[in-house]
Structure 1
């Protein structure tokens, strides 16, 4: 399997070279998809969630990083015009919220989520412990 990351039209020469060297005696599947979030984005997001978990109360208590990730991702999706689904729990006790996992976010979506989390943190006077190495650009 050949995988090529294309960042612009300049990368088409490399792609064409791969295509010209491909044996098409059997059908091939070519998929163009957005890149998943980067490891830098993942580290930035989790550092921000850790700071929020340590500093912000919600509904009268502190929550761990995983709960904050779920809460903030669901809120970001709603604000972005997407709706996380609330489905009756399979055991009949309450509802479960189903939303897109952050590990499945593309680079652009993750950058938007990070910006949203940064705004949430600013509104709640979160003091960030991780230095901003990206100058506000997370893509």
Structure 2
């Protein structure tokens, strides 16, 4: 078997997963992840990151929402005790954090990230806006 993904959305998919596990050869890797983040969570995160970008200067710099995302993901990784992967950059003048992807966050991880952003913003006087077309 190559790669496969099942979302356990009903009993039929759950039974299929059980069958695949029973038939899988030894040394097959199985990974279980919580439900993937939702679009409303994603919209809220980007609205909040934009608020940070528009309202804050961080250590003398205005940062884009993408930059704030990396800073907040780093805070999430540190809060959850996940081992950070930091390596020197290509010319040896600084470092790159390799533990910064948000694309695979679960609902619970995204909730924790939004809470971290909210707390950080509250500490720095950020006034939050709502994502366009979304209710709180």
Query: Which TM-score band applies after superposition, normalised by the shorter structure?
Result: 0.7 to 0.9
For residue 88 of structure 1, report the CA deviation from its aligned partner.
Answer: 1.1
- Once residues 47 and 125 of structure 1 are traced to their aligned partners in structure 2, the CA distance between those partners, rounded to angstroms, is 16
8 Å contact 2:84–2:97 — kept in the other structure? yes
1:33–1:121: structure 2 CA closer, same or farther, 3 Å change rule? same
1:36 matched residue in structure 2: 36
1:27–1:50: structure 2 CA closer, same or farther, 3 Å change rule? same
Matches within 5 A, 1:119-134: 119-130=119-130, 133-134=135-136
Flag structure 2 segments of 5+ consecutive residues without an equivalent: none
- Once residues 31 and 74 of structure 1 are traced to their aligned partners in structure 2, the CA distance between those partners, rounded to angstroms, is 23
- Once residues 43 and 54 of structure 2 are traced to their aligned partners in structure 1, the CA distance between those partners, rounded to angstroms, is 17
User: Where has structure 1 moved over 3 Å in runs of 4 or more?
Assistant: 1-6, 11-16, 26-32, 131-134
- The answer to whether 1:81 aligns with 2:103 is no
- Once residues 6 and 38 of structure 2 are traced to their aligned partners in structure 1, the CA distance between those partners, rounded to angstroms, is 16
- Once residues 46 and 111 of structure 1 are traced to their aligned partners in structure 2, the CA distance between those partners, rounded to angstroms, is 13
- Once residues 57 and 130 of structure 1 are traced to their aligned partners in structure 2, the CA distance between those partners, rounded to angstroms, is 21
1:12 matched residue in structure 2: 11
8 Å contact 1:52–1:126 — kept in the other structure? yes
Flag structure 1 segments of 5+ consecutive residues without an equivalent: 135-139
Q: How large is the Cα RMSD of the aligned pairs?
A: 3.0
Count how many residue pairs are aligned between Structure 1 and Structure 2.
Answer: 126
TM-score for both structures, normalised by structure 2 = 0.74
